[in-house]
Structure 1
Amino acid sequence: MSRPSSAVTGSQRVVVIGGGIAGLATAALLAEEGHSVVVVEARGETGGRAGSWEHDGFRFDTGPSWYLMPEVFDHFFALLGTSAAAELDLVPLSPAYRVYGEPEGTGPAEAVDVVSGRAEATALFESREAGAGDRLADYLDSAGDAYDLSVTKFLYDTYASSEGLRDPDLLRRLPTLAPLLTRSLVRHIESRFDDPILRQILGYPAVFLGSSPYDVPSLYHLMSHLDLDDAVLYPRGGFTEVIAAIERLAVARGVEVRTGIPVAQILTGTDGRARGVRLADTTELDADIVVSTADLHHTETVLLPPDQRSYPESWWRKRTPSFGALLVLLGVEGELPELAHHTLLFTRDWRENFEAISGRDATIPDPASLYVCRPSATDDTVAPAGAENLFVLVPIPADPALGRGGVDGAGDALIEAAADRAIDQIASWTGASDLRARIRVRRTIAPGDFAADLGAWRGNALGLAHTLGQSALFRPGNASKKVSGLLYAGGSVLPGIGLPMCLISAELVVKRLRGDTSAGPIAEPIADEAAIDGGADAGIATGTTTA
């Protein structure tokens, strides 16, 4: 790894804006490096998009619910001398998820269970389409290769130099890589498979990237390696336990976490270098380095004056946000065996569904392709005995004007009506016909809430969508072009959307401060196996995983 003379040396005072996973992870890694770190979070609790809400004995995750890319978590924890196995209680899910297509008649649709593992996945595909099993094996070989390429050549690169892009091994693979960047994911899938459900199983991961399979490049077929070849895990207690573990590790290293304190301004000196932040109560916190993990649009257009913005409003007018989301949190009496831990409902006309979300006349689709998480299928801590916890996500336009949600139907009328349709759709398609009558707790969260509570640009749910022009080196970098000592992390910047990407973004801050321009992850310390409950997994460095 290279360490040019511009690398930061010695202990620095660091203020991290935002107490979501990216902020807490950045703080923990910087404290491990020996820096003095304060995290400032505007809301009353940490977690950010990976938040939590409790009501009447139910505890809901209000954001991410898929634990994918376990080796990224393993690697992050290993950098702190521990492991995911030591910090979390990870449960493999079987099935990984269940799928319902749009019913042909008035009755419920057929349930299709997707079980992780090459043999199980190819058997499922073959059962629905002759020859599809062998074609899936080839597809997953390619997906695994693309995933390995992304991890070793793209995801951990700050692009502070072109060193990684000039790697001879990468250049040799350009003839294979180029078609994956210029062809859409849906074209890549439809040229190989005919069965509509199989196509949707392979295409839906684009939504995890904040976009549709019609708009993301086919390089992202690598996502199918995660759920079909690898495994889908769940951290018992919910994703709030992931946040709690990272915060615990940060605090143990001396990080100070302050909540309920919005940042009003990033302060700079006469030399144009960041010198701290001013809080909403006018208190100033001095710093040598400021790391903002807040939404990049908020950071640039609210916390900085016009002459210090690397990404002004004119830049944002040409960019694409991720989808918005309608979240419906439901506490339900009785059991719901019709739903797996993860369940996906796919509309028949998929293109129309996605065009409704992101087309010129964007609107909430009806019916909608939607996702339901039932963590109570796996975890008895998230709902009272004899009850179920449901988290429903309906991808909708990123538009705060659609309104805000509320508790017990108190949200804006358009949002509550869409929530009613989603509940009825789940009941009808899965056969849980009395679902509405059994609801005991209800809360909706909508784009207006994402904008107001999280400062999310256009009320988007995830960050910048992973279109080709907003991926890898084309995504916003992690250092301000105008203000020295101002760095960024989180879903708006490199490497992208999702909890694993946010962990990597925290590591990229460390690499930037070290002056490390290599394309791979930071080398892990030698693990003391006896000290970390059987040993920290060598993760990405050795190609093994603990989960």
Structure 2
Amino acid sequence: VVDIHSDLEKDLPLFEKLEPGVTPRMREYLKRSGEQYEMAKHYFMYRNFGISTDLFSWKLIKKGIELNPVQTMQSYLNKWFKDDRLKKILEYTLVFLGSDPAKTPALYNIMNFIDFDMGVHYPRGGIYEIVKALISINQKHGTQFHTEAPVQKILVEGKKVKGVRLANGKEMLADKVVSNADLWFTETKLLEPRQQTYPQSYWNKVVLSPSAFIMYLGMNRKVEQLHHHNLRFGADWKQNFKELFDQPRLPEDPSYYVCKPTQTDPDLSPPGTDNLFVLVPIPPGLTISENDMVEYRQKVLDMMKKDLDLPDLENSIVFERSYWSDDFKRDYNAYKGTALGIAHTLKQTIARPANKSKKVKGLYYVGAGTSPGIGMPICLISAELVYKQINGIKDPHPLKSL
């Protein structure tokens, strides 16, 4: 058991215990990661690659090579560090990008710079506070929201978007449509085959990020043993990733994440209690029986009791809700129940789906299935990319105002 802080100076004594003499290498590694982060932000992340001259700009090609897009994260870290425990700490963030370190470009080591230099942040009141803030900002600018109004079809006239038809039959006309639904669902369920930029044949070849088995637990007491963020790594690291990506099945010895948000935000539960969020990455597309769910839930609870020193865990649970792959399908129309979207493999990083349709003028895409990729901050950037396209903004840098 080790404690990790989003402060390198606090973490270096631990890293020295794991791998004596590692301090100068760790500093240099994170320095280079920071340089790559600034490069990615300045030249790539906020740029719309819709113009052919962008792709063949020698300056961009040079900067792209400096980001190290061909070498894998695993092989890159092997050049810097020897201790397997230390490498696991630096690799595990990739699970939340939906990727296997052995298949993910080394450019994503920028995630470690973000964690150790920029810190890990939490919106008081929970993640939904971000959604509420976005709604508030939009309403100030005159946006109208229609909730409980699922879209049944995107309307197209000729090769131009015309609007949407709701499940109740009502048609809402528009000269531009932006879909933040799962890209597979948007393309294959809301459009006719001839209108699809990414038909089912494309999705049959896509590498998806993991799904997840999630438990929401309300406790009748404080759980002092846990921090806000808690990670448990499976003993066989390679086998765990193999079960997630290459030989899909419920992992035998899973890595898992436990969040105790009440550590930071005690108002999220009654006084003297905590709530826990438990996430176990599992492969997408599995058929999981009710019996399998019951057994796997018990397996994870038993592991938590042992790994996290929580012998009376089950006796302390007063509320429980489980969430599986089929729930992601039902609630988010997620392809095969993926929790995150299209994995950041080398090929899918370079050739990620664009933010607008090639077949239907005026149809745009945002979210984890398109560019730049997975994660809430990145999804918000995808919205900025679409905003730029709609408004003809060529600036490849973050916008200071809209």
Question: What is the TM-score normalised by the length of structure 1?
Answer: 0.71
Q: Which whole-Å CA distance do the structure 2 matches of 1:254 and 1:208 have between them?
A: 34
**CA gap 1:121/1:333 in 2 versus in 1, 3 angstroms:** same
In the alignment, which residue of structure 2 is the partner of 1:37?
Answer: none
Q: CA deviation at 1:174?
A: 5.1
Q: Please say if residues 159 and 517 of structure 1, whose CA atoms lie closer than 8 Å, have aligned partners that are also in contact.
A: no
In the alignment, which residue of structure 2 is the partner of 1:432?
Answer: 310
Q: Which whole-Å CA distance do the structure 1 matches of 2:129 and 2:63 have between them?
A: 40
Partner of residue 378 from structure 2, selected from 501, 505, 513: 501
Q: List per-residue Cα deviations over 1:303-347 (Å, max 9, x = no partner).
A: 001110000011111111111111111111212122110000001
Establish whether residue 381 from structure 1 lines up as the match of residue 267 from structure 2: yes
In the alignment, which residue of structure 2 is the partner of 1:263?
Answer: 151
Q: CA deviation at 1:275?
A: 0.7
Q: Which whole-Å CA distance do the structure 2 matches of 1:377 and 1:129 have between them?
A: 30
Q: Which whole-Å CA distance do the structure 2 matches of 1:163 and 1:521 have between them?
A: 21
Partner of residue 357 from structure 2, selected from 480, 485, 495: 480
AA paired with 1:345? R
Q: Which whole-Å CA distance do the structure 1 matches of 2:53 and 2:381 have between them?
A: 19
Partner of residue 368 from structure 1, selected from 247, 254, 257: 254
In the alignment, which residue of structure 2 is the partner of 1:292?
Answer: 179
Q: Which whole-Å CA distance do the structure 2 matches of 1:303 and 1:323 have between them?
A: 24
In the alignment, which residue of structure 2 is the partner of 1:530?
Answer: none
Q: Please say if residues 402 and 415 of structure 1, whose CA atoms lie closer than 8 Å, have aligned partners that are also in contact.
A: yes
In the alignment, which residue of structure 2 is the partner of 1:129?
Answer: 19
Structural RMSD (CA): 1.6
Q: List per-residue Cα deviations over 1:136-163 (Å, max 9, x = no partner).
A: 1111011111111111111111211145
In the alignment, which residue of structure 2 is the partner of 1:304?
Answer: 191
AA paired with 2:77? I
Q: Which whole-Å CA distance do the structure 1 matches of 2:98 and 2:65 have between them?
A: 27
In the alignment, which residue of structure 2 is the partner of 1:236?
Answer: 124
In the alignment, which residue of structure 1 is the partner of 2:341?
Answer: 463
Q: List per-residue Cα deviations over 1:509-539 (Å, max 9, x = no partner).
A: 11111223442223437xxxxxxxxxxxxxx
Indicate the structure whose relative CO is greater, using CA pairs within 8 Å and at least 6 residues apart: 1
Q: Please say if residues 235 and 253 of structure 2, whose CA atoms lie closer than 8 Å, have aligned partners that are also in contact.
A: no
| More helix by percentage | 2
Q: List per-residue Cα deviations over 1:451-500 (Å, max 9, x = no partner).
A: 1211001110011111111125x110011011011111111001111110
Q: Which whole-Å CA distance do the structure 2 matches of 1:172 and 1:185 have between them?
A: 20
Q: Which runs of 5+ in 1 are unaligned?
A: 1-110, 404-411, 526-547
Q: List per-residue Cα deviations over 1:45-81 (Å, max 9, x = no partner).
A: xxxxxxxxxxxxxxxxxxxxxxxxxxxxxxxxxxxxx
Q: CA deviation at 1:182?
A: 1.8
Between the two proteins, the alignment pairs up a number of residues equal to 402
Q: Which whole-Å CA distance do the structure 2 matches of 1:377 and 1:455 have between them?
A: 33
AA paired with 2:341? G
Partner of residue 200 from structure 2, selected from 294, 306, 313: 313
- 3-state DSSP of counterpart to 1:235: coil
Q: List per-residue Cα deviations over 1:230-256 (Å, max 9, x = no partner).
A: 211111110111111111111121111
Q: Which whole-Å CA distance do the structure 2 matches of 1:283 and 1:499 have between them?
A: 31
AA paired with 2:342? L
Q: CA deviation at 1:114?
A: 0.9
In the alignment, which residue of structure 2 is the partner of 1:414?
Answer: 292
Establish whether residue 197 from structure 1 lines up as the match of residue 85 from structure 2: yes
Q: List per-residue Cα deviations over 1:252-275 (Å, max 9, x = no partner).
A: 211111111110000011x32111
Question: What is the TM-score normalised by the length of structure 2?
Answer: 0.96
Q: Which whole-Å CA distance do the structure 1 matches of 2:53 and 2:267 have between them?
A: 48
Q: CA deviation at 1:168?
A: 5.2
Q: Which whole-Å CA distance do the structure 2 matches of 1:517 and 1:417 have between them?
A: 54
Q: Please say if residues 249 and 286 of structure 2, whose CA atoms lie closer than 8 Å, have aligned partners that are also in contact.
A: no
Q: Which whole-Å CA distance do the structure 2 matches of 1:175 and 1:220 have between them?
A: 13
Q: Which runs of 5+ in 2 are unaligned?
A: none
Q: CA deviation at 1:357?
A: 1.3
Q: List per-residue Cα deviations over 1:4-62 (Å, max 9, x = no partner).
A: xxxxxxxxxxxxxxxxxxxxxxxxxxxxxxxxxxxxxxxxxxxxxxxxxxxxxxxxxxx
AA paired with 2:20? A
Q: Which whole-Å CA distance do the structure 1 matches of 2:261 and 2:298 have between them?
A: 21
Q: List per-residue Cα deviations over 1:357-404 (Å, max 9, x = no partner).
A: 1113x111122100011001111221111111100110001015226x
AA paired with 1:366? E
- 3-state DSSP of counterpart to 1:384: coil
Partner of residue 512 from structure 1, selected from 385, 389, 395: 389
Q: Please say if residues 164 and 518 of structure 1, whose CA atoms lie closer than 8 Å, have aligned partners that are also in contact.
A: no
Q: Which whole-Å CA distance do the structure 1 matches of 2:106 and 2:224 have between them?
A: 35
Q: Which whole-Å CA distance do the structure 2 matches of 1:323 and 1:451 have between them?
A: 13
